[in-house]
Structure 1
Amino acid sequence: MSERPSILLVDDEVSNIEILSAVLEEDHDIYFATSGEEALAIARTALPDLILLDILMPGTDGYDVCTQIKNDPLLADVPVIFTTALGDQEAEVRGLELGAIDYIHKPISPVVVRARVRNHLEMKRLRDDLAKLAVTDALTGLGNRRRLERTLNVETARLSLSGGLLSVIILDIDFFKRFNDLYGHTAGDRCLTMVAAALNRAVRHGSDLTVRYGGEEFACVLPEARFEEAMEIARGIRERVEALNIPHSGSEAAPTVSVSIGVATAPCVPGAPPEAWIRAADEQLYIAKAAGRNMVSGTIFEVPVAATVE
């Protein structure tokens, strides 16, 4: 997978795309679209780091495209630079009010384009780094609850375009309060970091997310994972935690630290509430606990969609 920044060029004039591409392709991965509709479709699949967007296009113009980008949870953080031959201040103000970060005027200056693109990509990288710190659990290095909620919002929106599957795993360390009482909070923190590492090793794909959901509770978001795959991963997590062989004399589930796990899988549909996966996985976690803990329970469920009011 390329680590170069990616840029989506949008212009109904192919010659303009060719000029911009020649200026930027040496240091960036380039996507292009010749209409607003095509731009939105490509943006949702390619997830570019930056979009250079023409204003005057037939059909869906640049203003409309920018509005849809900023209203889409999947794309809202992607910076947009308008490229335009319009020179009036009113047009610039309108674009900035819609969420664009800059303007590049035609005919373009290659030096100006490179400099502005470089600066905005660097600012985006810094914003992304700060955002990552804000959604990272300090103890385990996993994502935190905010990261979980944000990822669920993005993935349910993305996967609803194709009806793709989404699986969520929630797990809880069995009798963890007793562990802390018996061995102390330093040992408790060490246990949490070891379980977090085992969780990370069990998850297979770069698109999967692992988080510390709450005190001794963890979660995984598995985009496009079938139920059988999610259950296999959950069983792998349970086995890896068991293999840590951390003594727990206060547990009624096992002589060592163990976890109870709930799994929920459903296809994403437009309007589906992201928290539905959390609720369904939580219910399965409760079933696993009620059945004796140190086990996995899972379900394929139907996502409730709020009815629209006429």
Structure 2
Amino acid sequence: MSIGGEGPGPYDLGGRRARLLVVDDEPVFVKLIHQLFSAEHEVFMATSGEEALRIYARSAPDLILLDVKMPGMDGLELCRQLKRLPDARAIPVIFVTGHESLDEETACWNAGGVDFVNKPFNPLTLRNRVNVHLALKFQADRLREMAFVDGLTGIANRRQFEERLGQEYRRSRRNRTSLALLLIDVDFFKPYNDRYGHQAGDECLRQVAALLSSNMQRPGDLAARYGGEEFAFLLPETDAKGARVIAERLVEVVRQLNLEHLDSSIADVLTVSIGAAVLDPDSSDSCGALITQADAQLYRAKKQGRGRVCCSLTSEPRAEAVRP
């Protein structure tokens, strides 16, 4: 579809309308923008930089139209603050200004704007500028999604996992909160492929991935395909007890899939082994140490008979068996 009826397209937003955040202290301008775009878009309005930050947090806009001159926090400072937020870096900001000096143009580019329009503006020009940058933004979103999603299972891939792990590690250090990681391996997957065929093996991985994804309890949790028949489950703000409870539940729900596995030596249905590690906020370990410890715990779970959980803090390995 083409947003706004003019300009570039098509692109698909999955049935939703694009979200615009308009920030200007002049009510006449805000009303004009609302009239211009509200038929095609969701339009959110703010009359100050501080209000814009609050609305941004709850509206997740696709594009921001921003006045340069405002009392208090001006548009340039607001843009700089937004661009420091990881989720806002890809959101296009179009400055709308009543000045035409080269210094102000340069300041708009340096603050992180992608374009600017001078007041008074031609409504068709503004519509087309908005359409162009929405089209570019949604194309970039789609490419980013393709780069971070596993093609077979549809969940996060290893690249996305590693990026999120780094982000959550830094956040756990900053906020002094624990961070848990589960590494999950499908037991005896090669014999499963040999008996049932690779198509059945692929379907098995898809079902396990869907099950892991459906068991994410909070928006910050991440289920990812780590490689082959191995998955990762990232759990911010989760201690060792919580990680163990979640891991034990995953072992059980995979069993309850009742996927026949007659070449397993521990059960006649598909099972998984899980290694869990927790990075304590007082530890000096790196996020690499968290992976190493979770991998060591997974190895212990396999060595102790599979179909179970081994869990530890990064500095104090412990094992906890689950009914095989």
TM value normalised by structure 1: 0.74
Post-superposition shift, 1:32?
A: 2.9
2: CA distance, partners of 1:4 / 1:274:
39
CA RMSD, Structure 1 to Structure 2 (Å): 4.0
Amino acid of the structure 1 residue aligned with 2:63: L
Corresponding residue of 1:122: 135
Deviations 1:226-268 (A, max 9, x none): 9988766644533342234344455444333211235578999
2: CA distance, partners of 1:26 / 1:227:
51
Corresponding residue of 1:245: 258
Post-superposition shift, 1:23?
A: 2.2
Deviations 1:41-79 (A, max 9, x none): 432443211111121233433222222322321211111
1: CA distance, partners of 2:209 / 2:168:
22
Assess, with a 3 A threshold, how the Cα gap between structure 1 residues 31 and 137 changes in structure 2: closer, same or farther. same
Corresponding residue of 2:80: 67
2:92 counterpart of 1:82 = no
Post-superposition shift, 1:127?
A: 1.4
Assess, with a 3 A threshold, how the Cα gap between structure 1 residues 161 and 259 changes in structure 2: closer, same or farther. same
Q: How many residues align?
A: 299
Q: Secondary structure at the match of 2:86?
A: coil
1: CA distance, partners of 2:142 / 2:38:
25
Task: Give aligned-pair identity as a percent.
Answer: 41
Which one of 96, 111, 122 corresponds to residue 109 of structure 1? Answer: 122
Corresponding residue of 2:71: 58
Q: Secondary structure at the match of 2:274?
A: strand
Corresponding residue of 2:210: 197
Post-superposition shift, 1:119?
A: 2.5
Assess, with a 3 A threshold, how the Cα gap between structure 1 residues 154 and 62 changes in structure 2: closer, same or farther. farther
Corresponding residue of 2:150: 137
Unmatched 5+ stretches in structure 2? 1-13, 316-324
2:52 counterpart of 1:39 = yes
Q: Secondary structure at the match of 2:117?
A: strand
Assess, with a 3 A threshold, how the Cα gap between structure 1 residues 60 and 255 changes in structure 2: closer, same or farther. same
Contact persistence 1:182–1:250 (CA under 8 A): yes
Which one of 9, 17, 31 corresponds to residue 4 of structure 1? Answer: 17
Contact persistence 2:98–2:120 (CA under 8 A): yes
Amino acid of the structure 2 residue aligned with 1:63: L
Post-superposition shift, 1:174?
A: 2.2
Corresponding residue of 2:112: 99
Q: Secondary structure at the match of 2:88?
A: coil
Contact persistence 1:43–1:75 (CA under 8 A): no
Amino acid of the structure 2 residue aligned with 1:57: M
Assess, with a 3 A threshold, how the Cα gap between structure 1 residues 130 and 185 changes in structure 2: closer, same or farther. same
2: CA distance, partners of 1:76 / 1:127:
12
Q: Secondary structure at the match of 1:134?
A: helix
2: CA distance, partners of 1:77 / 1:264:
33
2:260 counterpart of 1:260 = no
Amino acid of the structure 2 residue aligned with 1:52: L
Corresponding residue of 1:170: 183
Amino acid of the structure 1 residue aligned with 2:226: Y
Corresponding residue of 1:305: none
Deviations 1:106-163 (A, max 9, x none): 2233333222222322221111111111112122222211222344566788999999
1: CA distance, partners of 2:294 / 2:89:
28
Assess, with a 3 A threshold, how the Cα gap between structure 1 residues 73 and 226 changes in structure 2: closer, same or farther. same
1: CA distance, partners of 2:94 / 2:40:
18
Unmatched 5+ stretches in structure 1? 303-310
Corresponding residue of 2:229: 216
Corresponding residue of 1:21: 34
Deviations 1:256-285 (A, max 9, x none): 3211235578999xxx98778767765664
Q: Secondary structure at the match of 1:7?
A: strand
Assess, with a 3 A threshold, how the Cα gap between structure 1 residues 45 and 265 changes in structure 2: closer, same or farther. farther
Contact persistence 1:166–1:225 (CA under 8 A): yes
